[in-house]
Amino acid sequence: MPVPTPNLYPDFNTIRLSHVCLNVKDLAASRAFYVDTLGLRVSDESDSHIYLRAMEERGHHCVILQKSDQPGTVEVMGFKTFDEDDLDRAEAYFRSKGHPTSWVKRAFQGRTLLTSDNIGIPLEFYHKMDRLEPIHQKYALYHGVKPLRIDHFNCFSPDVDASVAFYNDIGFRVTEYTEDEDSKKLWAAWMHRKGGVHDMAFTNGTGPRMHHVAFWVPTPLNIIDLLDLMATTGYVSHIERGPGRHGISNAFFLYILDPDGHRIEIYCSDYQTVDPDLEPMKWDLKDPQRQTLWGAPAPKSWFEHGTEFVGTPTRAAQLAATPIIAP
């Protein structure tokens, strides 16, 4: 199935991904991981929630850690719209497609629309979020991996073609994709709004489940520093894959797991994709440089482990094709 022609004039205008709410068992353990180790900054905290932002972000939060009796699940993924009227246009769009819609109250956010995508991923859209003072030049505050901003989500989808068609219709554009040569179906795809390689990506697998959430860091050397820190502070077993450089996106990467099993990617050095007529790049599923430019395959866990969305049933992938997997 060919990649669809980009919809440059969608019914509503999404600027970028914004935030994710992760359900956790122990807020203190999660705080030690995200704040003391990774280096995200606390915007607000209570007995039930911790709100975090990265160093370049002016919005109140990019991660919400929520104490839950369903730890290791994802509550919702958030996106910011261009203006307030886009929220009403988004509600009309999702209702017209038969998706549930409701207006929900969220701390530190303005009017927020809760809905879901075609495979059941819970999504929320907002325009206004509390703005905080800039801290990107307060270098004394930088520590850990020095996270600058949230970069993207990646989710397992049981039907990547259908997921791409849905997000294409709301204005996301494909930058790179993996096609299974036998079936001519999509095995994975990377889609953006903000002008990087992706805001949202999809990987073939049992889903919907979150594969990972990624944070942009200044340089690959920050990733090396984080590895040294994790290896000497009790987190060595949380290192899953990397460091390396992806063939897809050209980005330098590291994959780690938080205390509840949520996969986090540390990410930098991809490329600009702002031109609306930029042609997507195709990769073959069996190309060893697709996963890692240096040819190193990913471990089996990277293709199987993901975190479920609260209240959202999963189903098996339609496509049985498999990539190269490390022994």
Q: Is residue 322 part of a domain?
A: no
Q: What is the CA radius of gyration of the chain?
A: 19
| Interval 209-257: pLDDT, tens | 999 999 999 999 999 999 999 999 999 999 999 999 999 999 999 999 9
> Which positions ≥6 away from 22 have C-beta within 8 Å?
30, 63, 64, 65, 66, 74, 75, 213, 258, 260, 262, 307
Q: What band does 57 get if pLDDT is binned at 50, 70 and 90?
A: very high
Pair (152, 262) in one structural domain: yes
Q: Are residues 241 and 152 in the same domain?
A: yes
Q: Residue 178 and residue 200: Cα distance in Å, rounded?
A: 15
Q: Indicate if 163 and 275 belong to the same structural domain.
A: yes
* DSSP secondary structure string for all residues of 94-150: HHHTT---EEE--TTBSSEEEEE-TT--EEEEES-B-B----TT-GGG--TT---EE
* β-pair partners for 103: 113
pLDDT at position 178, please? 97
The DSSP bridge pattern shows strands 122-126 and 73-81 to be parallel
For the segment 147-205, what is each residue's pLDDT rounded down to a tens digit? 999 999 999 999 999 999 999 999 999 999 999 989 999 999 999 999 999 999 999 99
- pLDDT, tens digit (0-9, with 9 covering 90-100), for 8-23: 999 999 999 999 999 9
Cα(249)–Cα(147) distance, integer angstroms: 19
CB burial readout 233-259, b (16+ within 10 A) else e? eebeebbbbbbbbbbbbebbbbbbbbb
Does residue 320 lie in a domain region? no
Give yes or no: residues 92 and 172 share one domain: no
How is 248-297 classified by DSSP, letter by letter? GGG-EEEEEE-TTS-EEEEEE-------TTPPPEEEETT-HHHH-TT-PP
Q: From 75, 109, 131, give the residue that closes a domain.
A: 131
Residues 300 and 156 in one domain: yes
Question: Is residue 236 in some structural domain?
Answer: yes
Q: Which pLDDT band, with edges at 50, 70 and 90, does 327 fall under?
A: confident
Other beta carbons within 10 Å of 260: 19
225 and 85 co-located in one domain: no
Helix or strand run (H / E) with residue 227:
helix 220-231
pLDDT tens per residue, range 269-296 = 999 999 999 999 999 999 999 999 999 9
Give the phi and the psi of residue 161 in degrees, each rounded to 5: -55, -45
Q: Are residues 123 and 165 in the same domain?
A: no
Question: Residue 6 domain-assigned?
Answer: no
Percent of the chain past pLDDT 90, that is, above it, reads 97
Distances (CA, A) of 11 to 14, 117, 171, 240, 244: 10, 15, 8, 39, 38
Counting beta carbons within 10 angstroms of the beta carbon of residue 311, is it exposed (0 to 12), middle (13 to 18) or buried (19 or more)? exposed
Share of the chain above pLDDT 70, in %: 100
Domain limit, last residue, from 96, 131, 166: 131
- Does residue 29 sit within a domain? yes
Contacts with 327 (C-beta within 8 Å, 6 or more apart), sequence order: none
Is the bond leading into 208 cis (omega within 30 degrees of zero)? yes
Q: Average the pLDDT over 24-33 and give the result.
A: 98
Rounded to 10 degrees, what is the CA torsion of 172, 90, 24, 49?
130
182 and 293, same domain (yes or no): yes
Q: Is 320 exposed, middle or buried (0-12, 13-18, 19+ CB in 10 A)?
A: exposed
Q: Are 149 and 213 in contact (CB under 8 A)?
A: no
Q: What is the pLDDT of residue 321?
A: 85
| Residues 172 and 222 occupy one common structural domain | yes
| CATH code of the domain in which 52 resides | 3.10.180.10
Residue 317 domain flag: no
| 1 occurs within a structural domain | no
Q: What DSSP element (H or E) covers 15?
A: strand 14-24
Show the tokens assigned to 244. 């390396």
* Same domain (yes/no): 119, 220: no
Q: Within a domain: residue 88?
A: yes
Give Cβ neighbours of residue 159 (< 8 Å, ≥ 6 apart): 119, 317, 318, 319
pLDDT at res. 1: 63
Looking at the structure of the chain, the number of domains it has is: 2
Side chain identity at residue 147, one-letter code: P
The amino acid sitting at 215 is F
Same domain, 124 and 266: no
**152 lies in the same domain as 252:** yes
Strand 63-67 versus strand 112-116 pairing type: unpaired
126, 76 contact by CB (below 8 A): no
Among 76, 98, 131, give the residue marking a domain's end.
131
Domain membership of residue 77 as a residue range: 14-131
